[in-house]
Amino acid sequence: MAGIFDSPEMLAAFYEEIEEQLQSLEQCILYLENNQEKEETINKLFRVAHTLKGSSAAIGFEKMKILTHNMENLLERIRSQKTIITKRIINALFQCLDLLKLLKEAFMLDRKNINIDITSILNELEKIMNQEPHCDKKELNIMSDNSETEFELDFDCIAQIEQSMLNELNCLICDVRISSESAMKSIRFHLINNYLNELGQVIRTNPDLSEIPENSEINDIKYLIVTSLDAKSLEQKGNNEIMDIEAFRVREFDISKLNRNTEVKANNNENLKEITQASTLENTDRKIGQTVRVNVDKLEKMMNLVGELLIEHTRINQIGNILHGKYTTDNLTDDLLGVSTHVSRIISELQEVVMKTRMLPIQQLFNRFPRMVRDLAESLNKDIELILDGGETEMDRSIIEEMTDPLIHIIRNAIDHGIETPEERINLGKPSKGSLRISAFHQENNVVLTVEDDGKGIDINKVKESAIKKKVITSQDAELMSDSEIINLIFHSGLSTASEVSEVSGRGVGMDIVRNCIDKLNGIIEVETKIGIGTKITIKLPLTLAILTGLLVKINDESYALPMSNVVEIVRKTNEDIEYVKGQAVTTIRDKIIPLICLQDYFNIPRKKKNNKIFVVLLGVAEKRFGLVVDELIGNQEIVVKPLGTYIGKIEGYSGATILGDGSVACILDVSGILKMVGFKKVVQTDKNEII
């Protein structure tokens, strides 16, 4: 066995398989919790646990083998319908998943000394198998004392009722008769349902609320409710507080009347649909075709070589143009340029292929969110539906890694501050379940990510008050700022509208981290919000950071590159077009007052002799605009981004460097960094005639 332990290949294969199986396990548990048809998902869960047990046994990982073996035992009981699925079981499976992740990390660090204790979860699994209610059928009926069916309950409802008993809650039946003179009886039934949900949780109604027509003349309805109140207290409370009723009687639900021998009501078409959906869970992760695992370092090396090839080709092309100009009658120079053009096409194709090898579907990032949203919603007593769109959209793996934390911050804020509790949403006339949608799609040479919720929105006045209180802005500044500018203050460090700090958010550091990360990736973030409607955050990112299209300019005979993603437009201005507002140089572009920056003032660059005309490159970061004064425009081209290196280190205002066709080095300017370094506030876009 020691030989197996000492085999790096064996361990590498084990780690890769474990990671895949753990991801699959998490998806299955989430699906099991949120879907009616469970048979296929349980089968897949069993297969995953069995695979993990076999792999861990082969590698000599005893603790993982024992834990997965006990998971198998529980899943086998569920699969054979000897145990019903309850919230307790779902939570136990999630605990198993978390422990398996910890075991994997501990094994990678020191496989001979693993101090993760699994005794507690093994005891919990044993208790569940001994104590949890058993069942023989998927769908059961509650029979009234006169043997007439009062409610039809499916598998999940029965589990919910029995779990409530374990939690020492009361399961009650409310017999309600509304006044025969009451108008719009169906609406009255819904109002009573909302009222009862505030006191507990309505499991079922008879007749079903969704089947009662608007013009119904039905007067009687039964509600099955789980609540902490006893029957007498609920009856007294209902009679005192519910309007337009003739009778409101409450009695205890007799759990012994569960008829566990009732046959399942099978709807073949619906079951087939649900089973197909469950099967999709397994099939979506599979790719038909041949694949080869390649070490990431090899891909990085390949990308660097393609970059070097691109640089050298640019130099060859430049030399060819010089020779062609010098020897115009020599046909060899024409041949050289022709070959250079052909090589350029090949390099472009090679570059595209290599870039695609670095691309990963963003689903790998999305897979982190369902569990996180589920746990956060549960801890905050919120009901949230997570919708993921565009998981197949591909993005550079390095950007996916960098975007993990920013998206987590945004999602946590949406859940904690944005989406209301079910009770609050019902009072506001919203569905009790909140919606959180995360989308990804390609737009030109960028990937756009959106995070949208249907919560309370961002209160602009609260942001303004908090910013003034924290002395981020003055009250005079606030009066002059637009709504979008005020909203963007949420990205300022230390600023939060939360009334109190929670374990989830409220310290005012999360969105600052988000903005800094996106700026580092040469991205743009925008916020749209409406009070009572919700908030949408849009992030636009480049496809890759290795090669970008840049605008080459000269400042005092030195070449600089600007990312084209930040370039809005280029204009030419005379000295007469430059004016000053409180010491800040400004000019008018398309009837807007734009502040100007001269890098000579910040990078100790000698000033060139002034010309009557200057070039102004209008740059944009989110909603902010400023003009960069340059001496000369060279043109735009594909540039290979090179880090400045540890010797030079990070310099504010620079994001890297590139090698040009003539072999010279050009610094790549960090537009967001320059904006922070300059530190001026955006000049109010006013009419030029109003400038002092």
* Cα gap 551→533, rounded to integer Å: 40
Radius of gyration in angstroms for the set of CA atoms belonging to the chain, rounded to a whole number: 32
263: how many CB neighbours lie within 10 A of its CB? 8
In this structure, are residues 242 and 192 in contact, taking their beta carbons and an 8 Å threshold? yes
* Cα gap 326→323, rounded to integer Å: 5
**DSSP helix, strand, coil percent of the chain (3-state; round to 5):** 45, 25, 30
In this structure, are residues 586 and 596 in contact, taking their beta carbons and an 8 Å threshold? yes
Distant-in-sequence, close-in-space partners of 583: CB < 8 Å, separation ≥ 6: none
629: how many CB neighbours lie within 10 A of its CB? 20
Crossing angle of the two packed helices 268-283 and 39-59, in degrees rounded to 10: 30
DSSP state of 577: G
| The amino acid at 324 | H
Q: Give the pairing type, strands 220-227 and 200-206.
A: antiparallel
* Cα gap 89→83, rounded to integer Å: 10
Bridge partners, residue 395, by sequence? 360
Please name which of 449, 384, 387, 370 lies closest in space to residue 415, comparing C-alpha atoms. Answer: 384
* Cα gap 598→47, rounded to integer Å: 64
Placement of tokens 């030989």 in the chain: 3
How far CA 335 is from CA of 321, 345, 584, in Å, comes to 12, 16, 53
* Cα gap 615→608, rounded to integer Å: 13
Placement of tokens 């909203």 in the chain: 487
Residue 685 three-state SS: coil
| The amino acid at 418 | G
On the CB side of 181, how many CA atoms lie within 13 Å of its CA? 3
* Cα gap 321→339, rounded to integer Å: 12
Distant-in-sequence, close-in-space partners of 210: CB < 8 Å, separation ≥ 6: none
Residue 230 three-state SS: coil
Cis peptide before 207 (omega within 30 of 0): yes
- Active-site positions read 50, 72, 413
* Cα gap 472→188, rounded to integer Å: 50
Alpha helices for 110-154 (secondary structure H): 119-131
How far CA 681 is from CA of 16, 67, 489, 600, in Å, comes to 50, 58, 12, 20
* Cα gap 514→491, rounded to integer Å: 8
Q: Give the pairing type, strands 579-581 and 584-589.
A: antiparallel
* Cα gap 357→397, rounded to integer Å: 9
Residue 599 three-state SS: coil
Q: Give the H/E segment covering residue 683.
A: none
* Cα gap 306→313, rounded to integer Å: 10
Query: How buried is residue 609: exposed, middle or buried, by Cβ count under 10 Å (0-12/13-18/19+)?
Result: exposed
In the structure encoding, which two tokens stand for residue 188, read together? 């009255």
HEC secondary structure over 303-344? HHHHHHHHHHHHHHHHHHHHHHHHCCCCHHHHHHHHHHHHHH
